[in-house]
Amino acid sequence: MKTFLLLGLLGAYCSALSTKQQRRFPDDFLIGTATASYQIEGAWNEDGKGENIWDYITHNNPTVIVDESNGDIAADSYHNVERDVEMMRELGLDVYRFSLSWSRILPSGFANEVNEAGVDYYNRLINEMLKYNITPMISLYHWDLPQKLQELGGFANPLIADWFEDYARVVFSKLGDRVKLWITFNEPREVCYEGYGFTTKAPILNATAVGTYMCARNLLLAHAKAYYLYNNEFKTKQGGQCGITISVNSFKPLTDSEEDRAATELKQQAEWGIYAHPIFSQEGGFPKELVVRVAEKSAEHGYPRTRLPQLSEEERVLIRGTADFFGVNHYTGYLVSATRHTPEYSTVSLLSDINVGTYRPVEWLQSAASWLTLMPNSIYDVLTHLKNKYNDPIFYVTENGWATSPEIGLEDDDRITYYRAALESILDSLDAGVRLKGYMAWSLMDNFEWLAGYTERFGLYEVDFSDPARPRTPRKSAFVYKEILRSRVIDHDYEPDTAVMTIDEGH
């Protein structure tokens, strides 16, 4: 009797497993990779390109970068259009997401002078991709603000909304005949919190009390302007879509206590709700608890007004609903506690405003980047949470990936473990009815990882930064990703033959 029961259970388990293994990515689900201009292009001062904030900071303050490196040459993608597209073909990508360097197109930041040589680089890249049916998805802004605009205040200056709209108009009119998927901003949190509120991204402003909040408001208005521009002047003719990409980590309460649940909600609001709520919620505006909390803390510290600038009624309505899709960059997650931390805040900041602790169990797989661990099924958590919270929007996962150290070389088994788990979580999300249209791995190739320089590698292809030709070599994960793209299923037992990378027929 017992044996029968056991056999029965085993049978059920095996068939559940095999159904799981056979789950397919729908044919129209776009699978691809992502990169960003400053991280790969190089050619920092060639053919008329202007200086941007990363050029400026790496040249004038090199010690802020771990290995004192910069993106002057990076992966030299500016001179490697054909090889870059060849890699996309080797992998069999459906979609490739990249960003435009604002100062390559508008050297001073302003739209009075367009650098046609810069536009031409993007034309060549797009045209080469389209030859092989690879869909371009473009981010207008991935952190490389023209330096002049920074000197005028950057995202602390409300006029940034007009400057960004002018830049977007140039881009839509030059490239929009062929590009149908637009992202205004990549990761507002990293722009505002890290760049203005703290010191972990350019322009390293360290304006802890107000930087994040001022930037958030102006960035949202800039996003909305570019969205309306596309919607009103280009959409009918060009037929594309315009969204925004927000970094969404998974946050879960450490315990089931009411305090931990409230702390988790506040943490979510401060991390990504501050950008997502004004655009995707029905009522619009900044998240309520956060508004109240920052007002209280501002008063407590003697500020005559709240440090989170209010959106006027008109602005609230303007920003609400300005996205055709929600781009999610997702990497990792944390457990949140209201009490289990020792607050040691030397300055007033978003962190002291919310005053919560975050944890990660030691058993979560650790990558070469200290902030990045594998939290089980976190993509599913995040996407189903956002689906319910924001009334079922269309999603793209616009980034997801794993860091290895340079010494790992081509044998990147942890990256394979991570991608397989992530893609299972994507399938779980699709099964749960999330309106998810695509997934992009970060990254196609190794690149300049901001303050970590070249000490953390995210590429499916390794780049040899010591060789002037910047040769690219597929890692083991590239072969596994290629097989997933080819078969549209995840085979956990697949062992690639890594001897030669080829381009399959039809690519």
**Is 139 near ligand NOJ (CB under 6 A)?**
no
Q: Give me the active site residues, please.
A: 187, 399
DSSP secondary-structure letter at 270?
I
**Is 25 near ligand NOJ (CB under 6 A)?**
no
Distance CA 394, CA 423 (A): 18
Q: Smallest distance, Å, CB 39 to ligand NOJ?
A: 6
Q: Smallest distance, Å, CB 279 to ligand NOJ?
A: 18
Say how many residues make up the chain.
507
Under a CB-based contact definition with an 8 Å cutoff, are residues 413 and 4 in contact? no
Q: Quick one: 284 or 453, whose CB is closer to ligand NOJ? A: 453
**Is 367 near ligand NOJ (CB under 6 A)?**
no
Q: Quick one: 55 or 399, whose CB is closer to ligand NOJ? A: 399
Name the helix (H) or strand (E) containing 33.
strand 30-34
Q: Quick one: 172 or 185, whose CB is closer to ligand NOJ? A: 185
Q: Quick one: 78 or 141, whose CB is closer to ligand NOJ? A: 141
258-268 helix and 288-300 helix, angle to the nearest 10 degrees: 90
Local structure of 396: helix, strand or coil:
strand
Question: What's at 313, amino acid-wise?
Answer: E
Name the helix (H) or strand (E) containing 381.
helix 378-389
Out of 36, 191, 192, 460, the only residue in the binding site for ligand NOJ (CB under 6 A) is 36
Q: Smallest distance, Å, CB 222 to ligand NOJ?
A: 18
Name the helix (H) or strand (E) containing 337.
strand 333-337
**Is 84 near ligand NOJ (CB under 6 A)?**
no
Q: Quick one: 136 or 401, whose CB is closer to ligand NOJ? A: 401
**Is 194 near ligand NOJ (CB under 6 A)?**
no
**Is 269 near ligand NOJ (CB under 6 A)?**
no
**Is 404 near ligand NOJ (CB under 6 A)?**
no
Question: What's at 248, amino acid-wise?
Answer: V
CB atoms within 10 A of CB 254: 21
Cβ-count burial 371-381 (b if 16+ within 10 Å, e if not) = ebbbbebbbbb
211-229 helix and 160-175 helix, angle to the nearest 10 degrees: 40
**Is 65 near ligand NOJ (CB under 6 A)?**
no
Q: Smallest distance, Å, CB 189 to ligand NOJ?
A: 10
**Is 187 near ligand NOJ (CB under 6 A)?**
yes
**Is 442 near ligand NOJ (CB under 6 A)?**
yes
Q: Report CA-CA distances (Å) from 223 to 45, 196, 319.
A: 28, 18, 8
Q: Quick one: 36 or 229, whose CB is closer to ligand NOJ? A: 36
Q: Smallest distance, Å, CB 332 to ligand NOJ?
A: 10
Out of 70, 103, 186, 212, the only residue in the binding site for ligand NOJ (CB under 6 A) is 186
Q: Smallest distance, Å, CB 293 to ligand NOJ?
A: 27
Q: Smallest distance, Å, CB 456 to ligand NOJ?
A: 7
Of the candidates 398, 487, 401, the one whose C-alpha atom is nearest the C-alpha of residue 30 is 398
Sheet strands side by side (includes 250-253): 250-253, 333-337, 357-359
Binding mask 455-474 for ligand NOJ (x = CB under 6 A): ---x----------------
Distance CA 464, CA 136 (A): 26
φ/ψ region of 109 (left if φ > 0, alpha if ψ in -120 to 50, else beta) reads left
Out of 42, 449, 454, 475, the only residue in the binding site for ligand NOJ (CB under 6 A) is 449
Q: Smallest distance, Å, CB 13 to ligand NOJ?
A: 37
Distance CA 106, CA 177 (A): 20
Binding mask 310-349 for ligand NOJ (x = CB under 6 A): -------------------x--------------------
345 Cβ contact partners less than 8 Å away, ≥ 6 residues apart? 351, 352, 355
**Is 399 near ligand NOJ (CB under 6 A)?**
yes
Total of chain residues touching ligand NOJ, rule CB under 6 A: 9
Q: Quick one: 191 or 216, whose CB is closer to ligand NOJ? A: 191
Of the candidates 368, 373, 360, the one whose C-alpha atom is nearest the C-alpha of residue 449 is 368
**Residue written as tokens 């459906």?**
94
**Is 234 near ligand NOJ (CB under 6 A)?**
no
Distance CA 139, CA 136 (A): 10
**Is 51 near ligand NOJ (CB under 6 A)?**
no
Half-sphere exposure of 361 (CA within 13 A, CB side): 9
Q: Quick one: 201 or 507, whose CB is closer to ligand NOJ? A: 201
Q: Quick one: 41 or 399, whose CB is closer to ligand NOJ? A: 399
Q: Smallest distance, Å, CB 296 to ligand NOJ?
A: 32
Give the footprint of ligand NOJ on this chain (CB under 6 A). 36, 39, 186-187, 329, 399, 442, 449, 458
